[in-house]
Amino acid sequence: MDPIAAKFIGAGIACIGMGGAGAGVGTIFGHYLAAALRNPSAAQSQFGNLIFGFAVTEALGIFSLLIALLLLFAL
């Protein structure tokens, strides 16, 4: 296979990993919303935890994006 074509295909495959991060971020915000509707008075105090969980989950998706960007522009 042409190595450049293989590079582009690899970058595309690496981006699939971001789907997992999407599912994870959706779960976090969905559960936060569900819990916030049950107990709205406690919701504000957990906002920091929400953003922290969001950031940690998103980091894993960002690693796969990083691999894609490295394949496209650095290697």
Partner 1 sequence: MTDPIHQFNIIKLATLGEVAGYEIAFTNSALYMVITVAAITTLLVGATSRRALVPGRLQSVAEISYEFVANMLRSTAGTEGMKFFSLVFSLFLFILFANVIGLIPFTFTVTSHIVITASLASLVFCTVLVYGFRKHGLRFFKLFVPSGIPLYILPLVVFIEMMSFVSRPISHSVRLFANMLAGHITLEVFAGFIPMLGGFGVLGWLGATIPLALVVALTALEVLVAFLQAYVFAILTCIYLNDAINPGH
- Chain residues in the site for partner 1 (CB under 8 A): 48, 51-52, 54-55, 58-59, 62-63, 65-66, 69
Residue 1 vs 73, nearer CB to partner 1: 73
Residue 18 vs 36, nearer CB to partner 1: 18
DSSP secondary structure letters along 9-53: HHHHHHTTHHHHHHHHHHHHHHHHHHHHHH-HHHHGGGHHHHHHH
Q: How far is the CB of 28 from partner 1 (least distance, A)?
A: 13
Cα 23 to Cα 33: distance, rounded to the nearest angstrom = 15
Q: How far is the CB of 51 from partner 1 (least distance, A)?
A: 6
